[in-house]
Amino acid sequence: MDRSATSATAMKESSMKDHKRLLLIDDDPNLILLVKDYLEFRGYEVITAENGREALEILEQYVPDMIICDVMMPEL
């Protein structure tokens, strides 16, 4: 592998580490468990909320890189 390819790979891996924080919001605890386990297995850091109000409280202290949210959310 040449030097530029090695450098590009290192930059990609570095940027992936910086963009792995997710907020998962769903009122179904079984779905949260299933999706959270899968995402953590894939290397993501996952914070969960069971309703919209809890999600808003989390967002006051934590800024995720991505939010995955149920569209029919109670308490929002």
- Establish if 37 belongs to a structural domain: yes
pLDDT digits (tens, 9 = 90+) for 24-57: 999 999 999 999 999 999 999 999 999 999 999 9
Predicted pLDDT of residue 31: 96
Whether 60 and 23 have beta carbons less than 8 Å apart is answered as: no
Tell me, what CATH number does 44's domain have?
3.40.50.2300
Count of CB atoms within 10 A of residue 12's CB? Answer: 10
E-assigned strand segments in the chain: 21-25, 45-49, 66-69
Domain interval for residue 41 = 19-76
Q: For the chain, how many structural domains are there in total?
A: 1
Residue closest to 42 by CA, chosen among 63, 20, 24, 23: 20
Contacts of 68 (CB under 8 A, 6+ apart): 22, 23, 24, 25, 35
